[in-house]
Structure 1
């Protein structure tokens, strides 16, 4: 591996942060600046818990469609809830996946006249407990454990970039703010209409977040990371690990020295069945204009000069001045049916077409 063209994703052991912190931070710094992705093991979330979470995930997607549709995100302006196969859009193409977005349960506080981003906060839409006993509690437990892990890693990220451990969290993560998580099912190619293509989710960067933690719940290929020369590198599932990647919020706050690397997911090969994954997104606050942090020059000197990306930069100029508005526009662009119902005027103002997505390419 070179510092400009990585060919694999490194595995970092969180236990090493206790036994040999300097060595761990050196490995983390390399991953942050030159890759933007790494696996983390030794994270403390037990295999037994993750196995049960996987069973709950499969159980949800195996429910009759009518039961899943009762939690459809079309019922809420928060964009939390269920999305049917093919309903999400990335780079103006249909993503071949079902998903269920959830978060910690919070009351809706938005009223007419308040900032539009406050409309994104509210309760999740949960299926009837009788249909999936323990589902609600399992997902909230995952949310809490993933948030703790993401915050631990964010402190280490700060140190790896020459900052105080809480330099990012103290300024850009508010107590009890609502982060996001989701369950995802990617159908195998033979379960799709031939016109659908093989885009599980198109090339993108995780917008406005600090870190993403992804649990790949079964051993199927699909996740690919784009290296700085533009080549696609496989990121296969590894037992008892999370894939961690940098969000555009962190990249912006640390003056582009930590890279929000482009990635995508291809639908699984024919005959292999569906792929399941469970990401958690540690968000950066969206209630005020963000100010990049002063980074030591010795770190800035390592900043990559050229990074090829197939991801777009839609509304990036909005993010710098109003990350809350940016968050709403990003959601509308991806979930256009919800945008049409709750944010039609805003979508029209920014040229987002909220008609139904195309069935093919």
Structure 2
């Protein structure tokens, strides 16, 4: 049986990129290989802006349900927009959370435009609430997207260096101009705001699929996020003021031949009488338009550090599809999680994989 390994999440100081880069790269390498999660402090996104982001996030979820439904995912094949409490499925069980998915603004394919690959249907405009009911929401969310994309680009270059690669080895090949990167506003109701049969699964045990890095802003000082260490034990990842939590996606793990670990994590709903928990996530995506190939150039001494025995409660649904066709994988993953949207816009694909509304 594997013995316990990490019991806390390391905090990395981005100031060291200019003051002590070798120490930062060493700490980052350890986090990538042995943890798969880390906090970053002294990042470039201002605290005042994050306060405004928090206000807009809570403002959206405080809107009347009929207003939120006007931007519901069901209105678009992109899977962007609002998802009501309990609508998403993880590990065949509903997640107790509301969410709003957003991305950089891109046009949908024109009606007369030939779509060559099914993942192109995922690209399209966001479904925004009216500015009359939530002034400044769209501008704030898109500004966060811009800043988070810049931060993720800096981080993925540091990741490459930490693993002994050229700084552009990942960014130049697997992130392309005009690519869509997604984000998510999330509200986790407290236990006493749920039905007694709902349980406490805010989001079930999972790994972030197909992405390179996830950057998470924990907007509430409430417990909930837990990381599964590689011996299978759950470790709390509490909110740390003025930091982001960063974790490895399965896309990055695949590209670097399993050296960086996409660690399993989950979120529990907050305790009773504590109110809801809010967070904002940004997912730096790997390109979907071609088969991805693991990078060359990883030093033998780095490859030797790969974790061999990693216990995980997360599944590996459609993993073979990802290796052959990342775009198809992205669509299947979203159909599986948001089945009402999937069955409406991708009925043949959903049927082929046994996905129906209400199925488990």
TM-score, with length taken from structure 2: 0.97
Q: Offset of 1:357 from its aligned partner?
A: 6.4
Match status 1:249 vs 2:251: yes
Q: Is the 8 A contact 1:3 1:34 kept in 2?
A: no
Structure 1 contact 226–261 (Cα < 8 Å) conserved: yes
Question: Among residues 289, 310, 313, which one is paired with 2:313 in the alignment?
Answer: 310
On the 8 A contact 1:8/1:235 being kept in 2, the answer is yes
Deviates more, 1:290-299 or 1:251-260: 290-299
Q: What residue number does 1:125 align with? A: 127
Partner of 1:167, secondary structure, is coil
Q: 1:355: Cα distance to partner?
A: 1.4
CA distance in 2, matches of 1:308, 1:335: 27
Q: 1:77 corresponds to which residue? A: 77
* Counterpart Cα distance in 2 of 1:213 and 1:229: 24
Change (3 A) 1:96 1:191: same
Whole-angstrom CA distance in 1 between matches of 2:142 and 2:108: 18
> Which residue does the alignment assign to 1:19?
19
- Distance in 2 (alpha carbons) for counterparts of 1:113 and 1:141: 29
Among 349, 354, 357, the residue aligned to 1:346: 349
**1:261 corresponding residue in structure 2:** 263
Instruction: Report matched runs for 1:133-282 at 5 Å.
Output: 133-282=135-284
Unaligned stretches of 5+ residues in structure 1: none
Report the Cα offset of residue 160 of structure 1. 0.2
Q: Distance in 1 between matches of 2:115 and 2:181?
A: 24
| TM-score of the two chains, using structure 1 as the length reference | 0.97
8 A Cα contact 2:4 2:233, kept in partner = no
Give the whole-Å Cα distance in 1 for the aligned partners of 2:303 and 2:310: 15
Report how many residues are paired.
356
Supply the RMSD in Å over aligned alpha carbons: 1.3
Matched residues in 2 for 1:24 and 1:288: separation? 33
Equivalent positions of 1:282-297 (< 5 A) are 282-294=284-296, 295-297=298-300
Residues of 1 paired with 2:266 and 2:307: CA distance? 21
The separation in 2 between residues aligned to 1:109 and 1:307, in whole angstroms, is: 41
| Residues in 1 aligned to 2:196 and 2:359: alpha-carbon distance in whole angstroms | 16
8 A contact 2:109–2:115 mirrored in 1: no
Residue of structure 2 in register with 1:52 after alignment: 52
Instruction: Give ranges in structure 2 of 5+ residues lacking alignment.
Output: none
Return closer, same or farther for 1:142/1:3 CA change in 2, 3 Å cut-off: farther
1:145-164: CA deviation from partner (whole Å, max 9, x where unpaired): 00000010000000000000
3-state DSSP of counterpart to 2:246: strand
Structure 1 residue ranges (4+ consecutive) displaced by more than 4 angstroms after TM superposition = 110-113
Deviations 1:40-88 (A, max 9, x none): 0111111100001000000000000000000000000000000000000
| Shift, 1:109, TM fit | 1.7
Distance 1:306 1:351 in 2: 32
SS in structure 2 of the partner of residue 59 of structure 1: helix
What is the CA distance between 1:3 and its match in structure 2?
10
